[in-house]
C-alpha cells in the first residue's frame, strides 16, 4: 500500500523546518496588520476553515485509514450546538434584565437570577460534547464494519442526523435554519472583543484553531497512539494480532477527529451567522471535508493545508464569478451574447465542480495527493543531482 505517511515519518523536525514554520506563523499573525481588504481577510478565513476541517478528518481518515464520509454530522453538531445555546442565552439575558428591573433593590434576587444566566459561548462546548457523544455512538455501530461498508454506514448515520435536525424543528428551527444578528462579546487574553465587523477576530480565532489542529495532529503522529492508528491503517488484522485493541483505537481516533470537526462547525456558524441542515449537515459537505485531505495528501501533517491552498482559491474564483466577469470585462466575451450570459449567470452555481475535477485527477494521476506528488518530484531531482 502506498501511504506517504509512514515513509516520511520523523520523530523530530529539522531546525530549518521549525524556523520556516515559525516564520510562516509570524507572517500570518502580522497579516491583518498590513492587509485591510475585507475580501482578502475573508479568503484567509475560508482557508483556515478548510484547513481545520481537513486536518480533523485526516486523523481518522488519513492516519487511521477509516474513510468516514459522514463528518458533516460532527460539523453540524458544533454549528447547531453553538448557535442554539447562543440564541437561548441571549433570550435569557433579555429576560434577566427585565426581571432585574422588577427586583431593582433586592441584590439577593438579582444574584439568584444570575444563576440562570447561561454564558452564550458555552455552546461551543455543548457542540464538542454533542460531537463526542455522536462519535461514540457512530463508532460503536460503524466500526464493526470494514472498507466500503464502513463508508456506507457512516453516510447513513450522518443522513439520519440530518433528517432528525430537519424535523426536530422546535429545537433546531428545521429547514428554516438558525440566524443570529449579533455575536456576544468574547474575552480572549484579557481583552474583550465586541467588534466583529473587521473580520480580524475571526482571522485570529481561525488561525488559532489551525495551529491547534496541527498541534494535535503532530502530537498524534509522534505518539504511541499515532503508531497504533497507523498500524491499524496498514493492516488491521496484523495490528489486532499484536494486541492492539481495534475498537478502542478506532473510537479514540474518531472522537479526536469529531471534536476538532465540531470546532470547525462552531467557527463556521459564528462567522457566517446562519446555518441550516443543507449547508452544515449535507452529504456534499461530508464529501468536501474528505476531499481537502485527499487532494492535499492523506496521512501527512501538511497535506490538508496544501489541499485547502489548492481548493479554496479555485472554488472561490468560480463562486465569486471572477472568471466570468473578467472574461466579459476584458472584452473577450460580449456580455449580451449567449456565452456572456451563460458565464455570468451559471458559473457561480458550479463552484463544487472544481472539487470533482480535482479529485478525479488526483486519484488517477497522483494517488498520494498534491503534497506526495511534489515530494516525489523533489526526491527524483535530488536523486538526479547526486
Partner 1 sequence: MILFLQSLISGILIGGVYALIGIGLTIIFGVMRVINFAHGDIMMVGMYMTYFLFTLFGIDPFVSVLITIPMMFIFGGIMQKLFINRILGSLPQNQILLTIGLGLIMSNSAMLAFTSDYKILTTSYSSSSYRLAGLSISKPLAISFLITVAITAILYWFLMRTDTGQAIRATAQDREAAQLMGINVKRMSVLAFGIGSAMAGTAGALISPTYYIFPQVGSAFTLKAFVITVLGGMGSIVGATLGGVIIGVVESMGAAYISSDWKDVVVFTIFLLVLLIKPSGLMGTSRT
Three-class DSSP category at 196: coil
How far is it, in rounded angstroms, from Cα 275 to Cα 268?
9
**CB 158 to partner 1: min, Å:** 10
DSSP string, 220-270: HHTSHHHHHHHHHHH-HHHHHHTT--HHHHHHHHHHHHHHHHHHHHHHHHH
**CB 345 to partner 1: min, Å:** 7
Specify the residue, 118 or 352, whose C-beta has the smaller distance to partner 1.
352
Specify the residue, 111 or 364, whose C-beta has the smaller distance to partner 1.
364
Query: Cβ atoms within 10 A of the Cβ of 234, count?
Result: 14
Q: Which of residues 6-45 bind partner 1 (CB under 8 A)?
A: none
Could you give the C-alpha distances from 26 to 94, 135, 205, in angstroms and in order? 41, 35, 15
How far is it, in rounded angstroms, from Cα 298 to Cα 235?
17
Total residue count of the chain as it appears in this document: 386
User: Judged by CB under 8 A, which of 12, 15, 148, 190 binds partner 1?
Assistant: 148
How far is it, in rounded angstroms, from Cα 297 to Cα 48?
17
Position 338 contacts partner 1 (CB under 8 A): no
**CB 286 to partner 1: min, Å:** 10
Position 322 contacts partner 1 (CB under 8 A): no
Position 317 contacts partner 1 (CB under 8 A): no
Site string for partner 1, 339-358 (x = CB under 8 A): ------xxx-xx-xx-xxxx
Site string for partner 1, 266-285 (x = CB under 8 A): -----------------xx-
- Please report where in the chains the cell 459564528 appears, as a residue: 270
Contacting positions for partner 1 (CB under 8 A): 1, 65, 67, 69, 141, 144-145, 147-149, 151-153, 155-157, 159-160, 163-164, 166-167, 283-284, 287, 290-291, 294, 345-347, 349-350, 352-353, 355-360, 363-364, 367
Amino acid at each position: 500500500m502506498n501511504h506517504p505517511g509512514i515513509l516520511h515519518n520523523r520523530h523530530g523536525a529539522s531546525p530549518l523546518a521549525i524556523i520556516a514554520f515559525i516564520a510562516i506563523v509570524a507572517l500570518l499573525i502580522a497579516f491583518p496588520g498590513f492587509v485591510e481588504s475585507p475580501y482578502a481577510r475573508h479568503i484567509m478565513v475560508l482557508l483556515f476553515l478548510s484547513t481545520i476541517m481537513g486536518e480533523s478528518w485526516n486523523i481518522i481518515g488519513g492516519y487511521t485509514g477509516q474513510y468516514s464520509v459522514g463528518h458533516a454530522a460532527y460539523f453540524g453538531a458544533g454549528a447547531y450546538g453553538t448557535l442554539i445555546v447562543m440564541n437561548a442565552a441571549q433570550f435569557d439575558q433579555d429576560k434577566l434584565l427585565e426581571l432585574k428591573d422588577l427586583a431593582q433593590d433586592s441584590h439577593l434576587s438579582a444574584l439568584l437570577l444570575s444563576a440562570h444566566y447561561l454564558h452564550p459561548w458555552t455552546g461551543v462546548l455543548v457542540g464538542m460534547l454533542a460531537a463526542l457523544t455522536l462519535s461514540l455512538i457512530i463508532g460503536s455501530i460503524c466500526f464493526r464494519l470494514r472498507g466500503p461498508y464502513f463508508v456506507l454506514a457512516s453516510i447513513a448515520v450522518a443522513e439520519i442526523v440530518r433528517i432528525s435536525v430537519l424535523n426536530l424543528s422546535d429545537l433546531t428551527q428545521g429547514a428554516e435554519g438558525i440566524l443570529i444578528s449579533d455575536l456576544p462579546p468574547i474575552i480572549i487574553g484579557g481583552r474583550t472583543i465586541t467588534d466583529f465587523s473587521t473580520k480580524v477576530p475571526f482571522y485570529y480565532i481561525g488561525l488559532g484553531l489551525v495551529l491547534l489542529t496541527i498541534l494535535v495532529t503532530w502530537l498524534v503522529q509522534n505518539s504511541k497512539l499515532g503508531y497504533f492508528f497507523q498500524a491499524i491503517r496498514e493492516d488491521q488484522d496484523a495490528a489486532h494480532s499484536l494486541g492492539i485493541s481495534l475498537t478502542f483505537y478506532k473510537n479514540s481516533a474518531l472522537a479526536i477527529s469529531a471534536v476538532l470537526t465540531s470546532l470547525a462547525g462552531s467557527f463556521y456558524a459564528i462567522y457566517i451567522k446562519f446555518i441550516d441542515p443543507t449547508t452544515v449537515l449535507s452529504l456534499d459537505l461530508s464529501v468536501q471535508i474528505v476531499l481537502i485531505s485527499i487532494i492535499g495528501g492523506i496521512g501527512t501533517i501538511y497535506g490538508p493545508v496544501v489541499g485547502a491552498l489548492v481548493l479554496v482559491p479555485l472554488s472561490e474564483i468560480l463562486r465569486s464569478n471572477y472568471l466570468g466577469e473578467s472574461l466579459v470585462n476584458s472584452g473577450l466575451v460580449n456580455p449580451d451574447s449567449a456565452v456572456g450570459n451563460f458565464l455570468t449567470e451559471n458559473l457561480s452555481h458550479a463552484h463544487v465542480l472544481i472539487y470533482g475535477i480535482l479529485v478525479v485527477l488526483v486519484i488517477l494521476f497522483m494517488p498520494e495527493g498534491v503534497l506526495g506528488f511534489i515530494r516525489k518530484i523533489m526526491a527524483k531531482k535530488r536523486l538526479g543531482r547526486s
